[in-house]
C-alpha cells in the first residue's frame, strides 16, 4: 500500500478497465434477474488521493433500504442502454447532469443476492461539481478517499451460512469526518470496490478465497431478504 500512488491517473485506470462490449468483460444475461447499472463515481484531485462517492439510501423500498451504494438502479423502458440507466439514476439521485460525467470503462457484471444484475460503469466528476440528493431516496451523499479502501486494516470479511453454503461478505466501516457518522459499506458495493482495487492496482484484499454465489445458486434461494438482517447485525 505504501508504494501506491493514489493521485488520480486517468490513463492508468482506463488501461486497466474493460470497455462495455469487451470480449474480456463478463456479461451476464438471465431473465430471472433484473438488469441494472450503477455509476462507480470518482472525484479526482491534483494533490491528494481521489474519492469515491457513495450514497446512504433511505428506508424507501424493500430490497436495499438503508444501504450504502453507488448511484444507480434498474433499467427503465425509456433507457437506450445500461449506460443510460447509470447516468439517469445518477442525475436523479445526486443531481449530477449526465453531460458532467466522463465514463472511463466498466467492471464485470455482478449478480446480487437480491436478484439484480449490476453493470458497473466507472465515471469521473469534477471536484467542484454540486451534488444535490433526492430526499426521497438518499439520506446522505458520502465522499470516501480511495486510500481508506486500500488500507488492509480497514477491510473486513466474514462468511455466512446461507442455505447450507458459505457466502463471503466484504465490508468497510467508514467514519465520515463531516457528519461524524459511521457508515457500513457492504455487499455488492464493497465487492465492486474490492474488484476495482484488485483490477487497477493488483492488490488482493480478501484472504478467505471463497467465491460469491453464481446466478444459478442465487436462483435456488427463495428469499434472501430474510438473511439480510442476520448479516448486517454482525458487520461491526
**pLDDT over 70 at 133, yes or no:** yes
The helix/strand/coil state of 165 is strand
Question: Which is more confident, 193 or 230?
Answer: 193
* Domain chopping of the chain, boundaries: 10-232
Render pLDDT for 39-85 as a digit per residue (tens, 0 to 9). 999 999 999 999 999 999 997 754 556 799 999 999 999 999 999 99
Bridge partners (DSSP) of residue 165 are 162
In contact, 9 and 50? CB cutoff 8 Å: no
The whole-number pLDDT of residue 62 equals 46
The dihedrals phi and psi of 91, each to the nearest 5 degrees, come to: -65, -40
Q: How far from chain centre, in Å, is Cα 172?
A: 12
Render pLDDT for 134-178 as a digit per residue (tens, 0 to 9). 999 999 999 999 999 999 999 999 998 887 888 899 999 999 998
* CATH code, 10-232: 3.90.79.10
Which set of grid coordinates corresponds to residue 190? 464493497
> From CA 168, how far away is CA 211, in angstroms rounded?
7
> What percent of the chain is predicted at pLDDT more than 90?
76
Burial group, residue 201, by CB count within 10 angstroms (0-12, 13-18, 19+): middle
Instruction: Check: pTM over 0.85? Answer yes or no.
Output: yes
Band (pLDDT 50/70/90 cuts) for residue 108 is very high
Amino acid at each position: 500500500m505504501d508504494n501506491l500512488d493514489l493521485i488520480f491517473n486517468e490513463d492508468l485506470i482506463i488501461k486497466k478497465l474493460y470497455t462495455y462490449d469487451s470480449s474480456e468483460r463478463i456479461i451476464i444475461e438471465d431473465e430471472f434477474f433484473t438488469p441494472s447499472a450503477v455509476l462507480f463515481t470518482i472525484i479526482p484531485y491534483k494533490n491528494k488521493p481521489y474519492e469515491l462517492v457513495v450514497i446512504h439510501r433511505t428506508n424507501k423500498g424493500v430490497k436495499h433500504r438503508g444501504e450504502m451504494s453507488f448511484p444507480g438502479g434498474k433499467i427503465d423502458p425509456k433507457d437506450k442502454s445500461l449506460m443510460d440507466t447509470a447516468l439517469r439514476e445518477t442525475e436523479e439521485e445526486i443531481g449530477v447532469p449526465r453531460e458532467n460525467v466522463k465514463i472511463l470503462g466498466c467492471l464485470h457484471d455482478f449478480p446480487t443476492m437480491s436478484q439484480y444484475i449490476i453493470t458497473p460503469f466507472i465515471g469521473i466528476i469534477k471536484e467542484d461539481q454540486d451534488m444535490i440528493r433526492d430526499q426521497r431516496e438518499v439520506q446522505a451523499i458520502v465522499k470516501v478517499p480511495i486510500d481508506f479502501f486500500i488500507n488492509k486494516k480497514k477491510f473486513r470479511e466474514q462468511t455466512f451460512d446461507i442455505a447450507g453454503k458459505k457466502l463471503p461478505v466484504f465490508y468497510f466501516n467508514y467514519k465520515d469526518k463531516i457528519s461524524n457518522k459511521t457508515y457500513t459499506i457492504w455487499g455488492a458495493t464493497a465487492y465492486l470496490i474490492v474488484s476495482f482495487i484488485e483490477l487497477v492496482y493488483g492488490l488482493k484484499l480478501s484472504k478467505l478465497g471463497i467465491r460469491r454465489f453464481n446466478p444459478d445458486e442465487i436462483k435456488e434461494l427463495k428469499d434472501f431478504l430474510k438473511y439480510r438482517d442476520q448479516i448486517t447485525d454482525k458487520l461491526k
